[in-house]
Amino acid sequence: MSSAEQKMQFIFRLRQQGILDDRVLKAMEAVDRGLFITGTFAERAYDDMPLPIPCGQTISQPSVVARMTQALNVGPRDTVLEVGTGSGYQAAVLSHLARRVYTVDRHRRLVEEATRRFQALDLSNVTAMTSDGSRGLPAVAPFDRILVTAAAEDPPGTLLAQLREGGTMVVPVGQSHSVQRLIKAVRGPQGVEYEELGDVRFVPLVEGLGHDEI
């Protein structure tokens, strides 16, 4: 199967799973997931499944990336914070939708590798930093949108405090790998309103900086 045929099937599967936002579909189509996966798993880049990346982390399955991106409802003037850079794939998708993307990860190795990918793709509106994601980026806040790609026990108050009024945060919430719910939090004038978006499975949100594996 040619690359073009793979991509057509890829987008068709996303539509089948309820991803109907044209801007999100175009962003997913514009970013080649294969560029964010190395080694023996690269040939499975267009499969709808999570795949391992260094430092014990994973690259999320495309349908989950698309679902979280669609729920975030990013506008072209928005500034977005992503907590959990990983391979950089999700941030690259967001870069096609937002004015500015800040992405942080506790593993320096992942940030360095993702930064090289962003540079190779000329994604000049993405800034990646090694940082404790549970603390957010208070120096840059407030954000219009916050996307967390690791599961917290509860919607993190530190991150919600960095969300602009009218802003949206999407975060997996759950105390175990087996039971997690994707939560959409919208900060309004009277407080934060929450909406459940279905089951997911993510690595846990961990405080502090990582000790990178070689």
Catalytically active residues are 60
Phi, psi of 81 (to 5 degrees): -110, 125
